[in-house]
Amino acid sequence: EFNVEKIVAGDLLREEKAKGTKLGTEIARIMDKGELIPHKIICDLIKNKIKNKENYILDGFPRNLEQASLAKDIQIEKVIYIKIPDEIVLDRLNGRLTCKNCGGVFHLKYNKPKINGKCDNCGGELYIRADETKDAILQRIKIYKEQTMSLISYYKKMGILFEINGDRTIEVIYKDIRKLFK
């Protein structure tokens, strides 16, 4: 709707993983367990991607204070904190379907694709990510609490944090986020 590019840290890593290079294999080993990739690797991928771009949405980056500090030269205008209870995160990720082609997400129960196994946006093949097993999801939630949550007060102090209640429907959440970018 706003014609703004979405840059997803996890997608950049999944692209590297799919290439099957030595780096890709190392990324897969860490990622599939639900752990964080070394900061230098992800920061380089992100900085390379945003080079010469003015407007973009960053998803999944920075993931902790160290990355935020390494990324200080990236000008961040607004930070959206989607707040949601753990049990709902677990429920939404367990059963999530991701498009191999465009990264679009669907869900077996909550957001079914119109055609089984196919992405509504581009017709690409839908799959279940290797890190969307119960164990990997629980590990991702643990790391979120240990490392990512500290970014909430960090960006709050900077006056650029906007909290959105994520325990509602996709449409209502979208409307709320949209207001921030009018």
Q: Residue numbers of the site for ligand AMP (CB under 6 A)?
A: 9-10, 13, 30-31, 34-37, 42, 60-61, 63, 67, 131, 140
Rank residues 35 and 120 by Cβ distance to ligand AMP and give the closer one. Answer: 35
**Which of residues 13 and 99 has its CB atom nearest to ligand AMP in the complex?**
13
Closer residue to ligand AMP (CB): 151 or 179: 151
Q: Which amino acid is at 173?
A: I
- Sorted by sequence, the CB contacts under 8 Å of residue 13 that are 6+ apart come out as 27, 31, 37, 42, 45
Question: Cβ 182 to ligand AMP, closest distance in Å?
Answer: 26
- Comparison of 144 and 162: residue with beta carbon closer to ligand AMP: 144
- The dihedrals phi and psi of 81, each to the nearest 5 degrees, come to -105, 110
Name the helix (H) or strand (E) containing 81: strand 79-83
Query: What H or E segment, with its residue span, contains residue 161?
Result: strand 161-165
Alpha helices in the chain (DSSP H): 9-19, 22-31, 39-50, 65-70, 86-93, 134-143, 150-157, 170-179
Residue nearer to ligand AMP on the CB measure, 48 or 116: 48
Q: What is the closest distance, in whole angstroms, from the C-beta atom of residue 163 to ligand AMP in the complex?
A: 19
Cα separation, 155 vs 177, whole angstroms = 17
Q: How far is the CB of 79 from ligand AMP (least distance, A)?
A: 14
Residue nearest to ligand AMP (CB): 10
> How near is the Cβ of 178 to ligand AMP at its closest, in Å?
22
Provide the minimum distance between the beta carbon of 139 and ligand AMP in the complex, in angstroms, as a whole number: 8
